[in-house]
Amino acid sequence: MGLFSAEKPKQYEIDGIKLVCMFCKNDSFYTRKEQLHSPTRTILNLEWTDETATCFVCSSCGYIHWFMR
């Protein structure tokens, strides 16, 4: 999936539970980090201070699963 990187999709566990796509039941994913923007920080042009989430993108259908700790 060239849009994300040259990485190969992998299987993951979240808190000991195997990650499976909610949409197509596939079990391999690409990962990426995404920033979570808040309205106040956007108005003040401080988006770079917002938290990030780890996204697991299904290698089959492209459904994005977001996780934030």
Q: How large is the average pLDDT for residues 39-66?
A: 80
Q: Is residue 52 part of a domain?
A: yes
Pairing verdict, β 13-14 and 64-67? unpaired
Residue listed under structure tokens 């299987």: 11
Domain of residue 20: give its range.
13-67
Q: How large is the average pLDDT for residues 34-39?
A: 68
**CA 26/CA 35 separation, integer angstroms:** 25
Q: Is residue 8 part of a domain?
A: no
Q: How confident is the model at residue 27 (pLDDT cuts 50, 70, 90)?
A: very high
Q: What is the CATH number of the domain that holds 17?
A: 2.20.25
**CA 62/CA 42 separation, integer angstroms:** 28
Q: Is residue 40 part of a domain?
A: yes
Q: Is residue 4 part of a domain?
A: no
* pLDDT above 70: residue 66: yes
pTM for this prediction: 0.71
Query: How many domains is the chain partitioned into structurally?
Result: 1
Give residue 4's pLDDT.
52
* pLDDT above 70: residue 68: yes
* pLDDT above 80: residue 47: no
